[in-house]
Amino acid sequence: MNELSKKLEQQKLGSIKLNEPLKHHTTWKIGGPARVFFEPDSLEGLQEGLKLISAYSLRWFALGRGSNILISDKGIDAVVIKLGDNLANLHQEESIVTVEAGHSLIKLATIMSKKGYSGLEFAGGIPGSVGGAVFMNAGAHQTEMSDILTKALILMPNGEFKWMSRDELGFEYRTSILQENGGICIAAQLQLIKGDLQEIRERLQKNKAYRKNTQPWKDPCCGSVFRNPLPMHAGKIIEELGLKGYSIGGAKVSELHGNFIVNTGEATAKDVINLIEEIKQLAWKHYGVQMETEVEQIM
């Protein structure tokens, strides 16, 4: 690891930190240190950095804005690649928008709505990055990323770039093929629709207001914890189990929305895992429903 960090620094590919606490980089404010924390300064820096990491056969994973992820309290013996503001460029040609993975999804939705382009209003309440949204096919209000994405630029584990079409990405409910093949979404091409500026902005504001009124957006959380066991809804199941406000250690089921677990101050990953497991057991016991998480666990 030390040799790798020296080479990354020598090649000036971006920012390098050793034993960086990951709780500073997740929306849950949970996570131990990463052996190497690498924030590339460009797409080229990312590509060259990943080639070096692969040459050393080291474990790695990409981190966007830190939502929808739970990281071990002990930290991880791996290289964390941070896709941040250095990888957030935006290019627009009329209704076609190409945006890099580090761009905030909510910010992108706001920018496009102000220009009178429709398609991203659903993202007004999703606190993540464009790359993470593609990775998990994020969605809300009956719309998903796969509804507007035409193709994505993927950095494969071997360091090669590859454009993949919507069909090739194998989108399903909160799922893409990237969760299996280890590729990183580093840019997405979106097809939007020119529409009425006022109507678009009203829809976006309505979705933002819904989030503020029904979700614990002021508290450290990851977003929705469980996938909806369609046609049922995870939040409703948890609420009917009487678990709103229920806590284990510093992890608590939100009193606003049953499908959100908040960090009340000193929650550990173990607290969250124990709470998730208890919810699973109760849902199975009382409803015969197998609850599945949409949170990525890095242990």
Say which of 35, 166, 174, 203 is annotated catalytic: 174
88-214: CATH number: 3.30.465.10
Which position among 129, 176, 224, 254 bears the catalytic label? 224
Q: Where are the domains of the chain?
A: 2-86, 88-214, 234-298
Query: What's the confidence (pLDDT) of residue 83?
Result: 94
Q: Which residues of the chain have pLDDT under 50?
A: none
Closest CA to 149 of 179, 180, 119: 119
Tell which residue, 134, 108, 137, 102, has the closest CA to residue 120: 108
CATH architecture of 2-86: 2-Layer Sandwich (3.30)
Q: What is the CATH number of domain 234-298?
A: 3.90.78.10
How far is Cα 261 from Cα 247, in angstroms, rounded to an integer?
A: 9
What is the per-residue pLDDT for 156? 83
Sign of CA dihedral 186, 133, 57, 87: positive
- In this prediction the pTM is 0.89
What element of type H or E holds 276? helix 269-287
**d(C-alpha 152, C-alpha 149), whole Å:** 8
Q: What is the pLDDT of residue 141?
A: 87
Q: Is 201 a catalytic residue?
A: no
Neighbours of 61 (CB within 10 A): 16
Q: Does residue 65 have an active-site annotation?
A: no
User: What are the structure tokens assigned to 222, written together?
Assistant: 């990851």
174 is a catalytic site residue: yes
Residue 299, classified by CB atoms within 10 Å of its CB into exposed (0-12), middle (13-18) or buried (19+), is exposed
Q: What is the pLDDT of residue 16?
A: 94
